[in-house]
Each structure stands twice: as structure tokens, then as C-alpha cells.
Structure 1
Amino acid sequence: MAGHGEAQPMTSGRCGPLTGVAEVPGDKSISHRALILGAMAVGETRITGLLEGQDVLDTGKAMQAFGATVERSGPGEWSVRGVGVGGFREPADVIDCGNSGTGARLIMGSMATTPITATYTGDASLRKRPMGRVTDPLALFGARAFGRAGGRLPMTVVGAADPVPVRYALPVASAQVKSAVLLAGLNTPGETVVIEREPTRDHSEQMLRGFGAELVVETGPEGHVITLVGRPELRPQTVAVPRDPSSAAFPVCAALIVEGSDIRVPGVSQNLTRNGLFLTLVEMGALIDFENPREEGGEPVADLRVRFSPGMKGIEVPPERAPSMIDEYPILAVVAAFAEGRMVMRGVKELRVKESDRIDAMARGLEACGVRVDEDADTLIVHGMGPGGVPGGAVAKTHLDHRIAMSFLVAGMASRAEIGVDDGSPIMTSFPIFEGLMNGLGARVRRG
């Protein structure tokens, strides 16, 4: 797991056409939430298509530590016997969230209104990430948090013995913070209200309703107003996890920039709060067909056919689109490097506090590969070099960030010289089959 072992250098070289079917893993966001809500329900929740990356497995271990029974019955098939809202027991040991900011923040929210104490840690990357954005609103419920300077892990959270409902306006567009507050509201009497000026991914709202919570979303002058009635008895569910659009982004974008490619990526989530990358790519001139649209597990999905797209042009991405594609900007920056003209990505300051400072990581890595990049606190601009125009020949620093690692390995598939990454081990946290899947399509990704 990233940050817990030796670095694994990896290299990617220019390859022939990518062809075939890319079966990407289940959605990470939905996988986390299915485990947590299953643990807070009464009875057995069955999950199919669960992402079995380390991030999600760490969340499953945390739910076990809080008293739920979490068992694997086959590839992607899991069951969770929950303890009910307010039924978490105090864990006997430290909760290790590995590399996952989503896991850490959602788990904190789920226990913050139960009178127990839990201590959290993570890998070197996660220990640098700010947790105050979650612990501040959780304090309004009555929870207390004690951590390192700057609100960083390791951190101990003391749950509220007599939680009070809150009305909280998100200061930043963050599905993680919104979800943590809603999860805390589950074991709080009365109504908990979350207000977001910009819509973020709505998996928590959809899944909470599915598990039987009373939740209403209204749009008004303040933005999206989400009202949750506390103290429900959550009903166990059968959850079919759709394929992760954030993982699909890598084979999709690789096919767009590798000459002659033609691949299919089946069953990818098309949730409107997650599809910003695909909208942006189509606006750039990407050849993507959305076939067989349907609904699976309560989520809209489609099969994607993706072809090499030499006519792509850089555009200005609307800043209001950022919440729907925040994790996809690193790989979009790679596509922009192989497009024509200038690609402007504004409103992306949230990238500064992800697993790494992703604006800086992408800028420095692309510059090392011969691409001109401009940046400021909230903006990333990539000056495209056209199909096959990126020189490459560098080793990018990943800063323990899985998306930085995969983005530069994709870049190496179409650059003139190989591109390496100093550590590909973080890829296991979210996309453990990345190397095998990409090489199965025709890529040349290797270790060492």
C-alpha cells in the first residue's frame, strides 16, 4: 500500500493502437458509502461490483472495528451485517485509513454523533491532508477532535454524547464534507441541513434514500438545500456498484491520444454529478459514443466506444464544472498536452489539497516532458503540442498520488520518448488492475 512499503518505479512507452474491451473496476465513491451505510443499517446488506482497491478495503476494516461484520463471498461480492444507527462500538485499535481522504472523512462523520472515541491515521500522503474542513462542522454537533497542527492526522475524534442538529453551509464544494455532515446527522435528533452553493456528486443522497432515510433536496436562492431527518432505522439493501468513471478516464483518455485506437468501456456511470470529464472531452472534439444507456443499481450508466481523436482542440473548461470532474483534471491535462491550442482549467484550487498538490505535480511533470504549462492558485493552463507532439523522456514525481502516477503512464503511451514515474505503488489504492488492463489493450507499461 502506498506509503507503507518500498517505492515501485514504473515506465510507459509509445505503443501501437489500443484495442479491445476495458472492464474497469467498481465506483470507489459508491463502494465506500455502501460499506458505511451497510454497517449503519440493521440486517445484511449485499454488495456486488465493490471496488477491491486498498482504499475501500481499509473502509471495510474500519466498519469491522466499529462492530459490523464485513465478509467477502467472491470477486467484488461482499456482505455487511450492520449494527444500526448509533450502534457503533468503540474500536480497540487505531483506524488506519491508508491513502483515502474519502474514507477518513466519511468514517469520522459516521461515528461523530455516537459517544465513542476513535483515533485515525493514514499513510504519508493522507497525514498531510487537512481534516479541519470535516472536524469543524462535526464540532457543531458536539464532537471533539484532537490532531496534529493544521488539523492533520493522526487525530482522535470523541463522538458527541448528546448531539444537536446543525444547519451548515459548505464553504467549499466538497462531496466528502457534505457526506460527513449527513452521516453525522443520521444519529442526531431533528433535522440536519446542508447547503451547497455548487452541486457536488450526489451518491450519498441517493444511497441514503435507498437505505430508508428521510431526505429532501430543494433548490433555492442559497443553492442546494439538503434536509435529513435524524434517527431513522436504515434498511439493508442489495447494492450493485456501477463502474467508476474516474477509473474509466484512464483507458478512455489513452485511446483518445494513441494513434489508431478503438476500445469499448462498458457500464460506466453517467451520473450528472460525475460526468464532467466526458462532456469536456466531447467539447474538445473527442470521438466518444455513449451506447446502450440504462440504469444499474439506481445509477445511469452507458457503454463507451472511444477512438483515436487527432482533431481535439484545447478549450476553456467552465469553472462551475469542476465539482463534477475534480479527480479527472490530471488526466485531462495529459489529453490537453496532445491536443492543439491552449487548455484552460479554472476553479480548480481544490486540487491543491488532494492526495498531493495536483496542480503543482502535473505542472512540474508536464514541464519535465517538454510541455509548456502556466498555473496560479486556482488555475492550470496547458499549451497543447498536438498528436504525438509531446517529447516525454522524463520521470515524473507522483508524491504518493495514484492519479498522478496513472496520468503520466498514460502520457507515455503516446509521447515520443518513454515516461516514467518514481512510484507507481499508490495505484493499488484505487485501480489495482490498471497495469494488466492497459497492457491487455496493447499498452507497454512495465515495472522498474
Structure 2
Amino acid sequence: MKKIQHVSSFKGTLRVPGDKSISHRAVMFSSMAKGTTQIRGFLPGADCLSTISAFRRLGIEIEQSGDRVQVQGKGWYGLTEPSEILDIGNSGTTIRLMMGILATQPFHTVLLGDESIARRPMGRVAGPLRQMGARIDGRGEGNFAPIAIRGGNLKGIEYHSPVASAQVKSAILLAGLQAAGITTLYEPELSRDHTERMLSSFQVEVNSFAGGVNVTGGQELISPGEIEVPGDISSAAFILAAAAIVPGSYVVIEHVGVNPSRTGILDVLLAMGADLRLQNERVVNGEPVADIEIKYTPLHGITIEGEIIPRLIDEVPIIAVIATQAEGTTIVKDAAELKVKETNRIDTVVGELRKLGASIDPTEDGMVIEGPSMLQGAVCDSHGDHRIGMATAIAGLVAKGETAILNPGSIDVSFPGFFEKLAGLSL
């Protein structure tokens, strides 16, 4: 249990841990590349450590100390068949992207996760990979882990994804790199493009176009030598939220990734009236990076829907917290994807914020929040979901009295040292 007290203001300059999505891909792509890669700024959270563990068991030499990682890549066919099941813990990114990589390998692998992973849909990845020629099986006709894969002899396909998902897209693109011909994926809205950007830095030709992306098979990954991982904007979102809703606050978060496919949270804050700006904008390893400055100012409710949703799907829990302190009604639509995250985040966000006294109601594909609400301290539960744990902690900063967070350890998945960062800024 972690106890949170009301704070009077939030001030200071800090950095947040490395981007989780980029950290996963840095390890994966370096493992599949030819040459040695040094990774700086790696996120040493539980999910990313699961990726390192899995590739070690596939025969890749990886040294990791804090946020520094060295990977000895062996090329596409340097992996070896594991003698045991690969347990990827709670990491949806690890299991889905590895499905794409392992679909190219001419051996048998079984992927297993925790109870949360066992509930999350894998058919959205397994289906197109089967179309490419991989043999994939699992519970529920291959829709749920454990997932068994025997790959090799793939052919390129043209696939129209029903969801905008960077994990689905990445798995198909990775398989396509070792498939005969061209693999093309279309998606309904733009999803995160970290895979495309990083593959380019590994000298892979990726062709993005309006509505989709394609790759030609037979391409090798060549190590760029070094990769610098920027701060994770999904982690920065919680600090930004605290500064946005705690009166008198002023915070600067340095070296944050501001990839346009991830900056929906910034667009939402600005639309709600936040005093926010980017400073020192630059490009690092193909990824845009900046320092983010935010000052407290009163906010107002807005409607969040449509093509912006994939750019902020992980930030909806903390956006709901921000909305509890904004004047008027905030409506989140088109976010049914929240139901298949680490938890059903529509239900858990609504349930936990109601404990604190928020006026919030679920809808079929989102939620409706009325603000501002005078929150009262309560006992909340992360439900084993790092983003729910952090969202309720930020709500506790503006709630009267004391808020207790059950199962706070889940926060280490993406933000080790989260509570220490909050304490360093609290006044």
C-alpha cells in the first residue's frame, strides 16, 4: 500500500524514465541486427526486462545495467530454438511483436504471460500471420495465450487491420521483412510509428503512405551502433497532469519523446486550456524530442474522439483525472480499445475515480466526466495496472485527506521511481 497526501503545489525540473515502446524495439531490433548496439536511456521496468529475458533465452548475448544495455546482434537467423516456454510476464508489446519475429523462424516456440496477458486478444496478430504462412495455435482457436508458433516460409500479404494498433502493425511488418514479396498494411487511423522510424535507423526501407505502410521481404537489419531512448511521454503525462490540476504548479520535463503519433495528450491539454509549450526541440535517432514546460491554469471540458484516440489511448486514465478538475463536461468516445488493455480501463477508471468522489460515468466506448469535483481521499486499487495506479495517485494529490493505493508495485512496469519523482516536486 502507498499513501498519498494532498499537496499545495508542484514545482521543479525533472526527467522521466525512457520510452517503453522504444526500449522494447531497441532490444528486439538490435537482437535481430548484425553488429553490436549500445542502448542508452533504456527503461529498466518489468515489461522491458521481459523482452531482454526472452531474447537471452533465444540465444542473444545482452548485458544490462540500469538504463544502459549492450546487445550482440546475430542477424535474422542467429536465434536458437528455446528449450523452455518464453514467459513474457505482463508485456503485451513483447508477446505481440515477438509473434511477428518468431513467425519468421523455422523452429517451435511457446509464448506465455501472466493472468492479464491470458485475457488479452492475440487473434488480431495471429490471424494475419497465419495468412502469411506461419503456424500459430493457442487457447480459443489461437486467440489467447499460451501461443505456440512454428514459423518460416512466409509470403507477403495485403492486410486491412480493423484496429489502429502499433502492436498489430509492428508484428506484421517484422514478419514481412522475411516474407517473399511485399507486405502491405492498412489501418483506420494512424497508430504509433516507432517501428517504422527505428527500422529506418537499422537501414531498413519502410514505405509509409496515407492510410498504411509496406515493406519488401529479404531485408537485413544493420546496427546503427548506438540508440538513445528519449523520456516516455506516457510517463510524462502523469507529471503534466499533476502540474495541470494542482494550483500554483510549474514543471519542466526534459528530454521527452514528442513523436506526433504519441502527442495526443499534449493536444488534449492545450484544447482544455493548459499553459503548455515545447522547448529545445530536436531529433534523436529519428525521434523528435523536446523539453515540456507547463504552468497551472484553470481548464475546461472538451470532447475527445476520432482519429486522436490512437495517439492517446494509454493516457485516457490520466485524462479522466484531469477532467475531474476541469470546468464542464469532458466526453471520451471511440476508445473501446481500453477494454482490452492490462485491465478493462473503462471500468477500472470509472470505478476507482468514483471512490474518490468523481462524477464519472462509463459508456460503451469511453466515459463522461463532469467537473470540477471536490475529491476526497479513499482507498484505491491499481488492479495490477500501472496506469490505473499512477492515475489514482495523481488524483490523490488534489483530494482532501489521505489516499491509499493498493498494489502500487505495478507502477514499476513503466515508471520506476514514480513516487520519489512526485515527492521531489511536491510543496
Q: Same fold (TM over 0.5)?
A: yes
1:430 aligns with 2:423: no
| More contact order relative to length (CA 8 Å, sep ≥ 6) | 1
2:286 is the counterpart of 1:294: no
Post-superposition, which runs of at least 4 consecutive aligned residues in structure 1 deviate over 6 A? none
1:340/1:30 Cα in 2 relative to 1: closer, same or farther (>3 Å)?
A: same
| Post-superposition offset of 1:364 | 0.9
For 2:276, the aligned partner's letter is I
CA contact (8 A) 2:90 2:116 kept: yes
Contact 2:25 2:195 in 1 (8 A): yes
AA in 2 matched with 1:12: I
Q: CA deviation at 1:17?
A: 1.5
Unaligned runs of 5+ residues in structure 2 are none
Q: Provide the C-alpha distance between the structure 2 equivalents of 1:161 and 1:303, rounded to a whole number of angstroms.
A: 44
- The answer to whether the 8 A contact 2:323-2:369 is kept is yes
Tell me, yes or no, if structure 1 residue 421 matches structure 2 residue 413.
no
Is 2:351 the counterpart of 1:377?
A: no
Contact 1:145 1:155 in 2 (8 A): no
Contact kept, 8 Å, 2:122 with 2:145, in 1: the verdict is no
* Counterpart among 25, 34, 49 of residue 26 in structure 2: 34
Paired residues of 1:115 and 1:158 also in contact (CA < 8 A):
no
In the TM superposition, residue 150 of structure 1 has moved relative to its aligned partner by: 6.8
Amino acid at match of 1:206: R
Describe the superposition over 1:276-309 as per-residue Cα deviations: whole angstroms up to 9, x where unpaired.
Answer: 0011101101111211111122211111112222
The alpha carbon displacement at 1:416 in A equals 1.6
Matched, 1:263 2:254: no
Q: Secondary structure at the match of 1:21?
A: strand
Whole-Å Cα distance in 1 between the matches of residues 50 and 332 of structure 2? 33
| Mapping of residues 293-442 of structure 1, within 5 Å | 293-309=281-297, 311-385=298-372, 389-442=373-426
Q: Aligned pairs, how many?
A: 426
1:124 to 101, 107, 115: 115
Q: Which moved more, 1:81-90 or 1:325-334?
A: 81-90
Q: What amino acid is aligned across from residue 266 of structure 1 in structure 2? A: E
Hey, what does 2:239 align to over in structure 1? 251
Q: Secondary structure at the match of 2:24?
A: helix
Structure 1 counterpart of 2:191: 200
Q: Deviations over 1:66-92 (max 9, x none)?
A: 1211112x4311111112123321112
Question: Contact 2:123–2:144 (CA<8 Å) still a contact in 1?
Answer: no
Match of 1:141 in 2: 132
Q: What is the aligned partner in structure 2 of residue 273 from structure 1?
A: 261
CA distance in 1, matches of 2:149, 2:321: 43
Matched, 1:179 2:170: yes
How much has 1:177 moved relative to structure 2?
Answer: 0.3
Shift of 1:392: 2.3
Give me the TM-score of the superposition, normalised by structure 2.
Answer: 0.96
Residue-by-residue CA offset, 1:38-63 (whole Å, 9 max, x unaligned):
01101111111111111001101111
Counterpart contact for 1:285–1:312, Cα < 8 Å:
yes
Contact 2:139 2:147 in 1 (8 A): no
Aligned equivalents of 1:48 and 1:33: distance in 2? 13
Q: What residue is the counterpart of 1:3 in the other structure?
A: none
Once the two structures are overlaid, the 10-residue window that deviates more, 136-145 or 327-336, is 136-145
Local SS of the residue matching 1:251: helix
Q: Give the Cα separation in 1 of the matches to 2:3 and 2:307.
A: 35
How far is 1:153 from its partner?
Answer: 4.9
Secondary structure of the residue aligned to 1:171 is: coil
Does 1:189 find its partner at 2:180?
A: yes
Determine the C-alpha separation between the residues in 1 that align with 2:66 and 2:407: 27
Aligned counterparts of 2:389 and 2:11: Cα–Cα separation in 1: 22
1:377-436 CA-to-partner distances (Å, cap 9, x unmatched) read 212111112xxx432222223221000000000000011232222211111111111111
Report the Cα distance in structure 1 between the residues aligned to 2:217 and 2:4, rounded to whole angstroms: 50
Residue of structure 2 in register with 1:446 after alignment: none
Q: Which one of the candidate residues 209, 231, 235 is aligned to 2:222?
A: 235
| Range that drifts further, 54-63 or 434-443 | 434-443
SS at match of 1:16: coil
Q: CA RMSD in A?
A: 1.5
Matching of residue 11 in structure 1 with residue 22 in structure 2? no
CA distance in 1, matches of 2:305, 2:281: 25
| Structure 2 counterpart SS, 1:125 | helix
CA distances 1:238-263 after superposition (whole Å, capped 9, x unpaired):
11111100000111111111121111
Q: What residue in structure 2 maps to residue 217 of structure 1?
A: 208
State the AA in 1 paired with 2:418.
F
For 1:360 and 1:156, how far apart are their aligned partners in 2? 27
Q: Contact between 1:109 and 1:183, CA under 8 Å: does it hold in 2?
A: yes
Do the aligned residues in 1 keep the contact of 2:47 with 2:413 (CA within 8 Å)?
Answer: yes
- Please point out which of 40, 52, 55 is paired with 1:60: 52
The residue type paired with residue 62 of structure 2 is V
CA contact (8 A) 2:118 2:145 kept: yes
